[in-house]
Amino acid sequence: MSPIPAQEDFLFPIDALKDAKDKIQTANNWQEKYRQIMLMGKLLPSLNSQFHTDEAQVRGCESKAWLYHTRLDNRHYFLADSDARIVKGLAALLLAQCQGASGDQLRNFDASAYFQALGLEGQLSPSRTNGLMALVTQMQAAADSDEQDNAGSQ
């Protein structure tokens, strides 16, 4: 079985992520948005290499990306990392919106609308978009699986 990060690792402050998300939304051009996304990735805590496991790897992402999930007080929390700075920044954008969400909020999360509102629609390559959607799908599946497991054990 793979190692799992400690629960307190999932509770990193997200105010800086939300501020960075606002900078991306108000950036004047694609180059500035891209720069802000790369900077945003630096705000995510890096996962120790022991957590870069096959089980945590996001399938469908061209770059290597890893995702961990935990549930605390019926809220879902994630840790994400990538070997590509742009992917790590995009993961940070997702966490800025989804960290601490309820199961219903995650199920109803529309990633396409979110990235359109940020002015990123059409700016990302098809393979990057596919990887991003794979990350969203894995986040939603982790939350659904956890809630189903929890419902079955009650």
- Written as six digits, the tokens of 107 are 């199920």
Q: Other CB atoms closer than 10 Å to residue 107's CB: what's the count?
A: 12
Do the beta carbons of residue 94 and residue 139 sit within 8 Å? yes
- 43, 44, 61, 96: the active-site residue: 61
* 61 catalytic residue (yes or no): yes
Beta strand ranges found along the chain (DSSP E): 65-72, 75-82
Give the containing element (helix H, strand E) for 124: none
Q: State the Cα torsion 53-70-144-67 to the nearest 10°.
A: -30
- Written as six digits, the tokens of 34 are 């891209």
CA atoms within 13 A on the CB side of 138: 25
- Give the active site residues: 61
